[in-house]
Structure formats: C-alpha cells, structure tokens
Amino acid sequence: MIAASVSRAASGCTTERVDVALVGAGFAGLYLLYRLRKDGFTTVALEEADDVGGTWYWNRYPGARCDIQTIDYCYTFDPELESAWKWSEKYATQPEILRYLGFVADRYDLRRDIRFCTKVKRATWDQASERWLLTTDNDAAVSCRYYIMATGCLSSPKPPEIDGVKDFEGEVYFTGRWPHEEVKFAGKRVAVIGTGSSGIQAIPLIAEQAAQLTVLQRTPNFALPAHNGPAPADRVALLEGDRAGYREQARWSGAGVPLQLQTVFSWQLSAAERLERFENAWAAGDLFCMLRQLWADQGVDVDGNALVAELLRDKICATVKDPEIAASLIPYDHPFGAKRPCLDTNYYATFNRPNVTLVNLRQEPIKSIMASGIKTDKRTFDVDVIVFATGFDAMTGAIMAVHPIKGRGGKSLSDVWANGPQTYLGLTVTGFPNLFMITGPGSPSVLSNMVVSIEQHVDWAVNLLIAMREAGFTTFEATKTAQDGWIRHMADCSTLTLHRLANTWYTGANVPGKAQGVMPYTGGVGPYRGICDEVVSRGMLGFRLAGPNVAEQCNDGEIVRLQPDVRLVLKKLEEMKLAPIESLGAQGARDFVAELNADRPAGRPVGDVADGTLPGTDGPLPYRLYRPATPGPHPIVVYFHGGGWVLGDQHSDDPYCRDMCRRSGMIFVSIGYRHAPEYRFPTAAEDGYAATRWIAEHAAELGGRPGSVVVAGWSAGGNIAAVTCQLARDRGGPHIAGQLLVCPVTDCTFDRPSYNDNATGYFLTRSLMFWFWDLYCSPADRTDPRVSPLRGKLAGLPPAFVVTCEFDPLRDEGIAYADALAAAGVPVEQLKARGHIHTSFTMVDVVITGVSGRVQMAEALRRLAGLPPERKQVDASVRPARTASPRKIAAAAD
Ligand code: N01
C-alpha cells in the first residue's frame, strides 16, 4: 500500500527558495528528486494529485496495464532497488505499478520534498534575479534557480469535442481521470467512445460486467494479444544472466528495449517464412517484436509495412465472427506502427458477445450527447454510463495548457509554440533559460520505453547542473542556431519512419486546431543518447552558459548536420577503424570494396536481370541489364558505376540500379568499363562512349525503346556519363536524350571549398580522390575535357539532372558543372542534397533518407526520356489485394 501522502505546503504567502522546483511526481519527478537531492540541490516537487504516480495515479480504468514488459519498464539506476522489487506479471497492472512508485518514494524518502495537491498557476522568469517564480493554487509561491517540467507526455486529457456532454444525466467517466472508488457497470447500459490503447484495454472488462456495451469507434486501431502471464523465462534469464549488460543494451537500443534489429528484408523471405516470423511475434505477445523484428523494411517502407498490416488484418477476420463487424474493426488508414498500436486481452473476441454493439462512426458520426444517451446521424443509443476513452492533448498539452510559462522578455511558451513545439534536444527551449522538460517534444519519449528515456534525460540534466555549479555558471539557455538545427534534424529523422503518414496524437492531429508535425524524436534512443553525450563533449554545444563571476561560454552550432542515418553509417565506419582505401593498393582496394558490398542489403527484385557483353573498341565489355517488371519496350539508361576509375564493375552498384529501374520503369544497363591503373586515361571515357553507341544502336534487341538513350553515372561514372554526352555531340551520335549525373567528377582542381571542408570524415576523402586521379590520369592530360568535362564546350549538350551532396569533396565541382551547363543554355535541374555524403544515394536500404533523392532522380529520368510522370512500380506480389487506401499512403511516402 502507498503510505498516506503528506503535503507540506507552506502557510501564508511566503516564498520558498530552492535550487530546483519540479512539477510532477511520476516516474520522471521521483527520479529527479532522488538525483537532485543526492547531488546536493535543494528541491521541491509540486504535484496536483494527492500522491505519487503521475500517469499511473490518474489512469485507473479497468484493464489499465503497461504494454512494455515490466522487467524493462522500471527504474534501473539502483541495482539494489531492482533486487528489492519483484514484478508479478509480464505486463503489470496499474495498481501494481502505482504500488511500485509508492515503494520507490518510500525507499528513498522522497515524499518529504513533494507538495501534493498543489497546482502551479504560473511560472515566470525573472531576469533581474535570474530565477523562476512559481505561483501555486495554495498560496505558497516558489522561487527557484531551475525549473523542471516532469509532467509526462500523456497527462492532459483532451476534451471529447462532442456537443451536449453536460446534458447527459447518467454517469460520465474519463479513462485519463478515473475515480478512486470502484465503478460498477453490472446491469447497466454502457457506451465507450474511443478505441485507442485505453479503450481497447477497458472494453473487454466493461463488456464482462455491463448489461449492454456500445463501442463507438471513429478510427480502428491495430491491436495484438498481450498473452499476459509470468515474465517470459528467456527474457528473465537474459536479464539475470547479465543485468548491467542487459540494461546498457537497452540504453543504446532503438526503443529502450534490448532487442536485436532485423537485417533481413521482406523480399528476401518467402511468404511462408514471413508468416512464420509473424506467427512467432504474435505468440510472443510483445509490441516491439511485432513492430521491429519481422523484417528490416517493416518500419521504414510502406510495402514492407503493408505485409505486416495485412497479416494483422487476417487475424482480426479470423477472430471476429460477423464479417461486417470485422470489416469495421480493420484499420486501413495508416501503416502499422505509424499510430500507436495496442496490446489487448480479448479485445476482438469481445465483439462476438451478444451484449456488445460496435458503432462505426465513419458511417454514422455522433451528432450529440443528450440527457438519455448518444445520438448518431442514424440512431439514438440510450445508456446509463458514458466512458470517454478519447485520449490526450499529448506531448505539449501538459507543458503548455496547464499553466502559463513566461520566459525571457515575458514571452509565453504557448505563443512561442503556436505553430508547433520547438526545442533543443526535447529538453530545453530558446528564450526560456534554466527550464528543462523531461520527455518534452523532440525527445524519443513516447516512441521508447519511457523509463529508459526518463533516466537518460534526468541524468543528463542533473549532470549539467552539477557541471555548471562547479564552473560557477548559474544560467543556461539553448541558442537559436542549436534549436533550429534540432528542428531540422527532427524533420530529417521523421523521414526514417512511417509516423508522418498517420493522423495521430504523435503528430497533434487528434486535437482540433493543433499545429501538426511528428513531435517525438524518431531517430532512436541510442542515437539520441549519443547526441546528448556529444553536446557535452563539444563544450555544451548550442548552449549559452553564464554566471556572476565567470566569463560567458557559448559554443554555438548545430549538433547534427548530417542526415541521421548517414551519421550512423559514418559512426560505424569510424568504429571499424579501417585503413585508408588508398593505402591498400589497387587490388587491395578492390577486394575491400567487394567485401563491403557482400555485406550490404541485397537489392530489390526487378523484372529481369541479364548479364552480357558488348563490343568495345579493344574487345568485349561486360554489362548487366536490369529490366522493369512492366511490359516494354522501355527507354534505356546507360549507367556508369562509381569507383574513381579504379574500383567497381558492372555489378557493384547493383542495389542502386535495381532501385532506379523499379522507380523509373526504365531499363538500366550498367557497363563494365575498363579501369586504371591497368587502363589509364582515356580508356574509361572511350569505353563509355563505345558502350553507349552500341546500346543505342541495339536498343530494340535489348528489349528497349529505340531512338535515343539516357546516360547516367555516379561519381567517376558521372564523369564518364558527362564526357559521353560531349563525345556523342561531337562525333555525330548517338542521340542522348538526357544525362543524370550523381556526385560527378567534373574537374581536375582540388581547390574548391568542398575539397577542404569535406576533406576527411565523410567516406570519400580528398586523399582518396588524389589517388584515383593519379592512377587514372597523368597531370599533363588532366585538363582534357574527356576527364575534366567542365573544361569542354558545353553548348548543345543534352538536358541534365545534376545531384550533389553537402558533405562531399566533389560537391562544388558538381554544382559548377550544373551552373556552367545552364550558362551554356543547356536545360539543367539540380538536386543539392542537404546532410548527405558521396555514397548516400547508392547505399540503398541503408541510407533511408536517400529515398526521396532517388525518387526525384527517377522522375527526372522519366522526364528526360519523354515518359509521363508515374508513381513507382510496386510488385504485385507485395501489394495485398485488400489494401485500397494504402496506395494513397505509398504516394505520400514517396
Ligand atoms: O488515446 P488515443 P488513449 N469522437 O488518442 C477517439 C498510451 N497508453 O488514451 O483515432 C469519437 O490513442 C479516437 O479516435 P480517432 C499509449 O501510448 C498506454 O487510448 O481520433 N472518437 C481514438 O480512437 C496510447 O497511444 C497504455 O479517430 C473520438 C480514441 O478516442 C496513448 O496513451 C494504455 C473523439 C483516443 O485514442 C493514448 O491512448 C493506455 C471524438 N470526438 C494508453 N475524440 C498502456 O498500455 C477522440 N476519439 C501502457
């Protein structure tokens, strides 16, 4: 039992002065109190409820449980606490979690610093004293140096937005504010509005008691069975075998639970293998298994996701006996996982009960609530009880709506966030000095095991306060540059997942009029932790620190300028401590690249892949042809692979060629041109031209559309493509309809800024480019347009689409070539890819943020070939028959 709470509200109007005041006594508030006290800060916690528990205090509705396994959903800061508490079930009930939080509060004697039944009415930053002044509803004000919101993400229930709630004469309950006394449903007619996690947990239990239950569903949600019971033995054994290691793995994982990521893609599995994986995850009764462990593309790609969604739909059909009810319960409007899925116990089977009615509000919306019940536009339901399971003003509601927060210059947080929340790291806000939010918008929070995120945030924040105290600083504030950078990084991260494709509380779409955008950090718990650590190791990058007797410190800047997945790739490469490629010799470098390529994700299926040879100037040249699955003839793209004229072959850009073939609906022919140092300049260029000529002349034999070809190439291949266009113009053909140049080499000088700015650290280095040039071309030949096409005549060349990447040594020469083409009257489009590196677009299914660039390239290829715009082709085999609406989502995903 939780001990009786003690409020120690000060009497009269005295102002309590503390180092830190915090709001909330849930998981975050309790751990904050523990840490702050341990580290010598005077602290007070203000809590509206009369006891600890936070969300677990308020959400007492029947069936409320956690849906992350409880051995993971608990504090890890004190191993003794871990051994002092034993969970009774795999998913603990709300009363057990509340008992646990009471136990923690007692164990560390935290209640003496909590003022219960205290609501903060206003928080104001006082510039003169550099302190926050809090006024409360029980007269006792607080003056604090630091103010911390530990108010949770799902604490502010959202009004139901239905007319007439006040007219209802029966009982009304909100799942998010459930009474402490038992609610009796026996013999009553009950209506539940809302089928999110709360509704889905409560509905089966209410149905067991009520005389009649009417479930009013606006949007169906995906739910899977919890299969609750004892914690799974294998998981417990893992934890107990190496508790510290297990916890550490969780801290660096994607979602705060130590699970291995899947590396196999859906298209590498047969339907039977996919089904087996799905059934195993279904049997495991674990959200994360279903969300992350089936196949690698399920969370990032609409097609991979549609496969899971369809299997889940089959389960609903198999459980619900009435096909019409089953059809209403099946979600079609969002990818699985884009909206928070639910764990249930007998949810779908509940709709087989004779006392349960499902009302599909999409077919008959609620018109109003009346004295006797609920009126839809087709019927009236007389009920005794209405349960609103209508959710929360999530992420920002508890921070903004609860009380005005006025920062520097009297600016209010709700004004500053009127167009959506803006934070640095999800922890701080520019203009609001000395304010922390634990799991604020921009933190991994609700997309993670909350307790893991909370412990990280609290440790990071308190460690900052300690470091400031030691250095004599008394204020911190995020800079605008840092915050703007974080907002950009958040937007980049949101393209890594499918959350942006659903209308949910993650995006603010559940609250009418709320600004919309993905609010939690989608880049993962481990990467987030690494970024926070980097902020510290780079001298509190993005923070202005000041104090009365010390010089102000501000290392301004953006913490992440790379695309999030590019950053991870580079970190992995850094950890591998590879020798510079140029130190390996030509053969060693080729072996190394072959080894790297062997480990990369296999490219996706296309209609047909055929290897062949074509006659070059001095003998046969190998090629690989990729044909789309659609009926031909298709226009042909002659493709030149990357590799600095030294590395690679006709297979080495296989995933890129497959992807572009699928997206553009065009044949790709990748040419095995000869390489340096065995064949130096101008062999590669002449091979490229000869191959293009032969393919153009034999287009029909290859199944292609005769008349003209498009050329494309990446890196040195981009160089060959550009040169081929100049040679074709000057040598009387073939006719080239357009050129796609991806990060091309266009010039022999190394003095453009990108060569220095990006000289090292972004995979392709300045020194590697020196080596490539040396092997391919002697200095005397380097200004020849057949290797430096920027120095050639540019008028009369085919239209071009030129792609450059921000963190590529070759960036500026690519831009220079595009600009020079335009100046010469050639139609040119440019894609300047922010945050990308030289290899971003060819690392298919590794650099997910490269997809939108390849979509643009494919569209450009179609334009260049004179084809109408078309959405990407998707295999019939992976397009489930029932999913009509996900097509819309697929289009949005592109
Ligand atoms: O809220 P929700 P929730 N008329 O927003 C419907 C966590 N949680 O409290 O989708 C009719 O998900 C609304 O319909 P629609 C978990 O993270 C965890 O259930 O907007 N219907 C939706 O069906 C969860 O995701 C656990 O069309 C209206 C429902 O109400 C989050 O809390 C347990 C309506 C709201 O669903 C929120 O869950 C419980 C209207 N005017 C919650 N307005 C665990 O297991 C809203 N709806 C740990």
How far is Cα 715 from Cα 721, in angstroms, rounded to an integer? 10
Atom 43 in ligand 1: residue holding the nearest Cα:
390
Of 13-17, 104-108, 705-709, 851-855, the one with minimum mean pLDDT is 13-17
pLDDT score of 776 more than 70 = yes
**Using omega within 30 degrees of 0 as the cis cutoff, is the peptide bond preceding 734 cis?**
yes
Q: Residue of the nearest CA to atom 46 in ligand 1?
A: 390
Distance, in Å, from the CA atom of 796 to the CA atom of 733, rounded to the nearest integer, reads: 12
Instruction: Annotate 221-260 with b (16+ C-beta within 10 A) or e (fewer).
Output: bbbbbbeeeebbeebeebbeeeeeebbebbbebbbbbbbe
Q: Which atom of ligand 1 sits closest to the CA of residue 361?
A: 11
784 C-alpha vs ligand 1 centroid, how far in Å? 66
Best of 91, 174, 214, 218 for a ligand 1 pocket test (most atoms within 8 Å of beta carbon): 218
For residue 139, what pLDDT is reported? 76
H or E, element range at 730: helix 716-730
For atom 3 of ligand 1, the residue with the nearest CA is: 391
Question: Could you tell me the distance, in angstroms and rounded to a whole number, from the CA of residue 157 to the centre of ligand 1?
Answer: 10
Expressed in angstroms and rounded, the spacing between residue 203 Cα and the centre of ligand 1 is 13
H helix or E strand, kind and range, residue 480: helix 480-494
pLDDT band at 13 (very low <50, low <70, confident <90, very high): low
How far apart are the C-alpha atoms of 465 and 388, rounded to whole Å? 41
Residue 23 CA to residue 475 CA, distance in Å, equals 20
**313: number of Cβ within 10 Å:** 22
Q: Give the per-residue pLDDT at 4.
A: 29
Q: Is the pLDDT of residue 872 over 70?
A: no
Q: Using CA positions, which residue lies closest to atom 5 of ligand 1?
A: 391
Give nearest CA residue, ligand 1 atom 40.
160
The pLDDT score that the predictor gives to residue 871 is 54
Q: What is the pLDDT of residues 625-664, one digit of tens each?
A: 999 999 989 999 999 999 999 999 999 999 999 999 999 9
Residue 553 Cα to ligand 1 middle (Å): 44
pLDDT tens sequence across 254-285: 999 998 888 999 999 999 999 999 999 999 99
Binding-site residues, ligand 1, Cβ < 6 A: 65-67, 154, 160-162, 175, 193-199, 201, 218-219, 340, 361, 366, 389-392, 446, 505, 510
The pLDDT value given to residue 887 = 30
Distance in angstroms (rounded) separating the CA atoms of residues 413 and 409: 11
In terms of DSSP H, where are the helices of 242-337? Answer: 243-251, 271-284, 287-292, 302-319, 323-329
Q: Which of 56, 61, 73, 198 has the most ligand 1 atoms within 8 A of CB, as the residue to mutate?
A: 198
Q: Is 570 exposed, middle or buried (0-12, 13-18, 19+ CB in 10 A)?
A: middle
Residue 767 CA to residue 470 CA, distance in Å, equals 43
Give percent of the chain with pLDDT exceeding 90.
93
How high is the pLDDT of residue 65?
97
State in Å: Cα 196 to ligand 1 middle: 4
| Lowest mean pLDDT across 56-70, 117-131, 707-721, 877-891 | 877-891
Q: For residue 10, what pLDDT band results from cuts at 50, 70 and 90?
A: very low
pLDDT of residue 400: 84
Q: What is the pLDDT of residue 712?
A: 99
The whole-number average pLDDT for the span 792-807 is 98
Cα distances (angstroms) measured from residue 607 to each of 666, 741, 869: 11, 25, 20
Query: Which pLDDT band, with edges at 50, 70 and 90, does 129 fall under?
Result: very high
pLDDT, one tens digit per residue, over 182-230 is 999 999 999 999 999 999 999 999 999 999 999 999 999 999 999 999 9
Which residue lies with its CA nearest to atom 6 of ligand 1?
Answer: 194
Measured in angstroms, how far is the CA atom of residue 160 from the centroid of ligand 1?
A: 11
77/787 Cα distance (integer angstroms): 60
Q: Is the model's pTM score more than 0.75?
A: yes
Predicted confidence at residue 186, as pLDDT, reads 98
Cα 206 to ligand 1 centroid, rounded to whole Å = 17
Q: Please tell me the distance between residue 337's alpha carbon and the centre of ligand 1 in angstroms.
A: 14
Q: Which helix (H) or strand (E) holds 860?
A: helix 851-864
pLDDT (0 to 100) of residue 120: 95
pLDDT band at 12 (very low <50, low <70, confident <90, very high): low
- Considering only CA atoms, which of 576, 665, 716 is closest in space to residue 858? 665
**For position 870, what pLDDT does the model report?**
73
* CB-CB neighbours of 322 under 10 Å: 12
Report CA(229)–ligand 1 centroid distance (Å).
25
For residue 151, the CA-to-ligand 1 centroid distance in Å is 19
Q: In what order do the strands lie in the sheet with 373-376?
A: 366-369, 373-376, 380-382
Q: How far is CA 662 from CA 111, 307, 538, 570, 861, in A?
A: 62, 19, 43, 28, 12
For ligand 1, atom 44: residue with the closest CA: 66
Instruction: Indicate whether 7 pLDDT > 80.
Output: no
Q: Which atom of ligand 1 is nearest to the CA of 66?
A: 48
How far is residue 824's CA from residue 830's CA, in Å, rounded to a whole number? 15
Q: Residue 14's pLDDT band (boundaries 50, 70, 90)? A: confident
Report the half-sphere exposure of 194 (CA within 13 A, side-chain side). Answer: 25
Residue 122 alpha carbon to ligand 1 centre in Å: 29
**Counts of helices then strands in the chain (DSSP H, E):** 26, 29
Identify the burial level of 82 via C-beta atoms within 10 angstroms of its C-beta, where 0-12 means exposed, 13-18 middle and 19 or more buried.
middle
Give the separation between CA 5 and CA 28, rounded to whole angstroms: 18
The alpha carbon of 389 and the centre of ligand 1 are apart by a number of angstroms equal to 6
**Rounded CA Rg of the chain:** 31
Task: Render pLDDT for 104-125 as a digit per residue (tens, 0 to 9).
Answer: 999 999 999 999 999 999 999 9
> Position of tokens 């075998």?
241
CA 383/CA 215 separation, integer angstroms: 12
Q: Which residue has the tokens 């003095």?
A: 751
**Considering only CA atoms, which residue is closest to atom 24 of ligand 1?**
197
Peptide bond preceding 744: is omega within 30 degrees of 0, i.e. cis?
Answer: no
Ligand 1 pocket test: pick from 340, 364, 390 the residue with the most ligand atoms within 8 Å of its Cβ.
390
pLDDT, residue 529, reads 98
Mean pLDDT of the region 615-629: 97
Q: What is the mean pLDDT of residues 792-817?
A: 98
Tokens of residue 479, six digits:
């800079």
In this structure, which residue's CA is closest to atom 1 in ligand 1?
391
At 403 the pLDDT is 83
The pLDDT value given to residue 832 = 98
